[in-house]
Structure 1
Amino acid sequence: MDFELTDEQRQFRDALRAFVDKEIRPVAREWEATDRYPTEIVATMRRMGLFGLTVPEEYGGLGADMVSFALVFEEIAKGWMGIAGILGSHSLSCWLIARHGTDAQRRRYLPDLATGARRTGIALTEPDAGTDLQGIRTVARRDGDDYVISGRKTWITNARHADPLPVLVKTDPAASPAHRGMSVLLVEAGTPGFEVLRDLPKLGYKGTESCEILFEDCRVPASALLGGVEGRGMQQVLSGLETGRINVAARALGIAQAAYDEALRYAGQRKAFGSQISEFQAIQLRLADMAMQVQSARLMVYWAASRADAGRRVDLEAGMAKAFASEAAAACALSAMQVHGGYGYSKEFDVERLYRDAPLMMIGEGTNDIQRIVIAKALTSGKGTIG
């Protein structure tokens, strides 16, 4: 049983760390505070080929293994989690098109998505439907050679830059069960009737936009139907969310590691009662707990990623990794603030940002309560085992 990265993966990780240290860390605090869009960082990620993570090599992408995929989100999130969000939704959408798109859809979109010349996201959540995707109200009715979309989506990352934007709709609202009437349509930027209404204000996850969008008699050609067959949208999306949960788990791991790093560094510098606070047993116990949480999360994330690389279905593994790592991130961020004392509450220290970014990891890509239900169903049905 080998828990080590390959030489190629280590070199990839080192290149990512150099990029984060040079271009993300120096500006993260200032740009996050002003919610400035990281245009320059995006340009570098394009040059590095990171927008092609999940695009097959035949279309110009990296076709990265899932462990390397996880490394990207872990390392970038250590510097600034919001930047990882820009790549996350894009990578999930690319995976959907590569896995489920028609040949024509792959040829049209994937080469430009791989280079970042096109960007993308995914539109699932609605004001009245988040976890319960079968409850969406956005519909697309067939009209000759087109679909006409009407509805509203919210919390959509990359909405202002997506071209195309995969949108989960109901092509047969009367279908029972509802998922049999659900499809994904690829909506290109500038399509009449597709409007980004506003950017939503957020506690954390700054740097990338999260938008509310409107489809009002938005007409797209029938060729925009992902895969070319109606009624497969829910299955397509759920298959992609396994990858998405590894992405979120890796981001959470990055937050947890960054929180631990900050706490360890500060404990070695801060003095009280004539000694470094790292010599105090109360601080040592807190650091030890953080280290155990971080390393446990890392092993679980890489375990899920390696299972995906083996071609296995990983709803159990990805669900476990996402739930555990996100809760480790929240716990480590709070512990890091406590190690810093009053300074942990100051915007002049990074732990305050980590504390605000961590909770989203417990919510995004399915809440942790949902993850536990998925895990339990896999275990009780015999489709998932541990040990």
Structure 2
Amino acid sequence: MILNICKNFGKSFNVSKRFCSSLNQGLCFNFTEDQLALKDAVSTFAKEEIMPFVSEYDKSAKFPWEIIKKGHAAGLINTTIPEKYGGLGLNSVSEVIIAENLGYACTGISTSFLVNGLAAAPLIIAGSEEIKKKYLGWLIEEPIVASYAVTEPGAGSDVAGVKTRCEKKGDEYIVNGNKMWISNSGHAKWFFVLARSNPDPKASAGSAFTAFVVDADTPGITVGRKEMNMGQRCADTRAVTFEGVRIPASQVVGAPGEGFKVAMKTFDKTRPFVAAGANGIAARAVDEATKYALERKAFGTNISNFQGVSFMLADMAMNLEISRLITYKSAKCIDDKIESSIYSSMAKCFASDTANQAATNAVQIFGGNGFNTEYPVEKLMRDAKIFQIYEGTSQVQRMVISRHLIKRVKENGSFFYS
């Protein structure tokens, strides 16, 4: 039957030989030579410049300035900034390669690297030429960090709930409000800020917010103390207060009132990188747990020989590979300018859950040693949790996914065939 179908395929569907030959092409799961070289370079940097110092930074909670400086010199920070403004102009797939290899070493340190990309993304998407030249160029010229100031004490994943307000007076905006959990803020030279510009609570979010870029030393900006978090301890998160901060109208990112849209487009672009960091944790958990299972003996044999352990390892490996596939697909969709929101959320959600399960399993396989700080897996477990929270919780990602799913089925009658 199958043979007959193959013989009649061209005739039945009027398919040319040229088209038939293309059926044997298509998907490619291989990196380019340059991407393989990038992977090797990042992996080497992570193993030599990050991994030997991970425990020290975790215990001290010290901001990893020295590593950031080395990363900047090596060209591993600000990599998505276009060449026009001095950057490498790497695509999303290449940035995912960087993020997962840095995440394998330490997501506290990799977060400190990648927040620059989060802060730069809205400027790349919607900033004026003057803004891009000044602020993107600044990131390239000096080993500085920037921050993405959107989250507030009462508005995390609910970006439309942002209470920080701005009022236009002449050629300036006056900004007042409080931001919370702002990464890199204690060391940032500039902030991307989202504020409500339309006081009407019934106004559509798509037209009610305005985004800005502002220097961190602008009068009226106060940065709070470093928060002591469960995981990613060396990453710097703080509260940032804006009191009567005057921002020139020329510092608006995008059009006035379009800030919410800019923020959402930013998340679509950066969520695959967050997913990649989570995949780094999952990959490390798989490696550490497997090596330990091959060495640890119980009841006269290596624990890797017990089905209870080996099946856990198998599940960890399967989910890691599935997670990496959706992460790279989401990045490729961005690079190919294909609608990527649903895939960015799928990647972020699945990778976050995968990292948490992998880290938990690794601790379980290590047994009592897994609960001890002298072994690496308890840190993986602590570091993994935040991935289910920042840049949109796993619950919010499921909301985004279901919204796109329902829309596609309504419009096309199928998700699979759409």
Deviation track 1:238-280 (CA, whole Å, cap 9, x = no partner) reads: 0000122111111110010000000011111111222211122
Residue number in structure 1 paired with 2:383:
357
Residue number in structure 1 paired with 2:87:
61
Deviation track 1:112-135 (CA, whole Å, cap 9, x = no partner) reads: 213444421201111111122111
Instruction: Determine whether 1:216 maps to 2:243.
Output: yes
Residue number in structure 2 paired with 1:71:
97
Q: 2:291 aligned to 265, 287, 305, which one?
A: 265
- The amino acid across from 1:100 in the alignment is A
Q: How many residues align structurally?
A: 386
Task: Note closer, same or farther for the CA distance 1:165–1:260 as it changes in structure 2 (3 Å cut).
Answer: same
What is the rounded CA distance, in whole Å, between the counterparts of 1:248 and 1:93 in structure 2? Answer: 14
Task: Note closer, same or farther for the CA distance 1:385–1:307 as it changes in structure 2 (3 Å cut).
Answer: farther
- The amino acid across from 2:273 in the alignment is N
What is the rounded CA distance, in whole Å, between the counterparts of 1:203 and 1:184 in structure 2? Answer: 31
Which aligned pairs between 1:14-29 and structure 2 lie closer than 5 A?
A: 14-29=40-55
Q: 1:134 aligned to 160, 174, 195, which one?
A: 160
SS of equivalent to 1:203:
coil
Q: 1:186 aligned to 207, 213, 216, which one?
A: 213
Deviation track 1:207-226 (CA, whole Å, cap 9, x = no partner) reads: 11111011111112121111
Compute the displacement of 1:74 (Å). 0.5
Residue number in structure 2 paired with 1:238:
264
- The amino acid across from 1:216 in the alignment is E
Residue number in structure 2 paired with 1:92:
118
CA contact (8 A) 2:194 2:209 kept: yes
Q: 2:223 aligned to 169, 175, 196, which one?
A: 196
What is the rounded CA distance, in whole Å, between the counterparts of 1:275 and 1:50 in structure 2? Answer: 43
Task: Note closer, same or farther for the CA distance 1:117–1:358 as it changes in structure 2 (3 Å cut).
Answer: closer
Compute the displacement of 1:164 (Å). 1.8
Stretches of structure 2 lacking an aligned partner (at least 5 in a row): 1-26
Stretches of 4+ moved more than 2 A in 1?
114-119, 383-387
Identity %: 35
Instruction: Determine whether 1:323 maps to 2:349.
Output: yes
CA contact (8 A) 1:252 1:361 kept: yes
Instruction: Determine whether 1:366 maps to 2:392.
Output: yes
CA contact (8 A) 1:52 1:60 kept: no
CA contact (8 A) 1:124 1:133 kept: yes
Q: 1:248 aligned to 249, 274, 285, which one?
A: 274
Residue number in structure 1 paired with 2:234:
207
Stretches of structure 1 lacking an aligned partner (at least 5 in a row): none
Residue number in structure 2 paired with 1:380:
406
- The amino acid across from 2:357 in the alignment is A
Which aligned pairs between 1:297-316 and structure 2 lie closer than 5 A?
A: 297-316=323-342
Q: 2:66 aligned to 37, 40, 51, which one?
A: 40
CA contact (8 A) 1:242 1:314 kept: yes
- The amino acid across from 2:89 in the alignment is G
Residue number in structure 1 paired with 2:38:
12
CA contact (8 A) 2:69 2:143 kept: no
SS of equivalent to 1:163:
strand
CA contact (8 A) 2:108 2:234 kept: yes
- The amino acid across from 2:161 in the alignment is G
- The amino acid across from 1:221 in the alignment is P
User: RMSD between aligned alpha carbons?
Assistant: 1.4
What is the rounded CA distance, in whole Å, between the counterparts of 1:99 and 1:116 in structure 2? Answer: 22
Deviation track 1:309-345 (CA, whole Å, cap 9, x = no partner) reads: 1111211111111111111101100110111010000
- The amino acid across from 1:191 in the alignment is T
Compute the displacement of 1:386 (Å). 4.1
Compute the displacement of 1:37 (Å). 1.4
What is the rounded CA distance, in whole Å, between the counterparts of 1:275 and 1:118 in structure 2? Answer: 52
Which aligned pairs between 1:141-180 and structure 2 lie closer than 5 A?
A: 141-174=167-200, 176-180=203-207
SS of equivalent to 1:199:
coil
SS of equivalent to 1:51:
coil
- The amino acid across from 1:192 in the alignment is P
User: Which structure's CA Rg is the greater one?
Assistant: 2
- The amino acid across from 2:65 in the alignment is T
- The amino acid across from 2:308 in the alignment is A
